[in-house]
Amino acid sequence: MRYIANGGKEYFIREAVSEEWDTAMELAFRVFLKYESKEYGKKGTEQFADFVTSPRLKEMFEAGSYKLLVAVCEEKIVGIISRRSGNHISLLFVDTAFQKMGIGSSLVKELAIDTRNNSTYGRMTVNAAPYATEFYHSIGFQDMGKMTEADGMIYTPMEIKI
């Protein structure tokens, strides 16, 4: 799907291909380090690093059970979103230089369309990091519980009807 960012740049959202996996996970980790790692501390940062470098996660992606969409601008991946368990947003990250341009919202929109078209779920869920909570609220997600900490990861469970 073709979009125009708030900054006027054109970008496309499409399914990722296997050769883009490492680049996508590097983007996620780089943005995580910039905005979230201080709040998560050493344990949470290690947990996140283990998750995005997990060979099992890549195997799930290659088998089709872990959906990954990418936002591409000028042939560069500038945003990612992934889904697991049928309707749960697993990762959503946008390159720092491309934040606040509508790319994150567009990624969620495209994943919601895919989820609605390919499942029986009428909602999507996410465990929103503290940095992302305001963003998710702004696009219609509602809290399902209180902020939680588990294994160094801090999140608020949220959902949106799709």
The residues with which 128 forms a beta bridge, in sequence order, are: 156
Is pLDDT above 90 for 121? no
pLDDT in tens, 61-75: 999 999 999 999 999
Region 4-25: mean pLDDT is 94
Closest by Cα among 70, 88, 85, 99 to 7? 99
The one-letter amino acid at 106: S
State the burial class of residue 18 (Cβ atoms within 10 Å of its Cβ: 0-12, 13-18, 19+): exposed
Q: Which residue has the higher pLDDT, 54 or 6?
A: 54
pLDDT in tens, 15-52: 999 999 999 999 999 999 999 999 899 999 999 999 99
The one-letter amino acid at 95: D
The residues with which 71 forms a beta bridge, in sequence order, are: 13, 79
The residues with which 83 forms a beta bridge, in sequence order, are: 67, 89
pLDDT, residue 120, reads 85
Task: List the chain domain ranges.
Answer: 2-121
State the burial class of residue 8 (Cβ atoms within 10 Å of its Cβ: 0-12, 13-18, 19+): exposed
Q: Would you state the CATH architecture of domain 2-121?
A: 3-Layer(aba) Sandwich (3.40)
Is pLDDT above 90 for 7? no
Query: Cα–Cα distance between 142 and 54 in angstroms, integer?
Result: 30
Is pLDDT above 90 for 5? no
* Mean pLDDT across the chain: 95
136 within 8 A of 105, measured Cβ to Cβ: no
pLDDT, residue 17, reads 97
pTM: 0.94
pLDDT, residue 1, reads 82
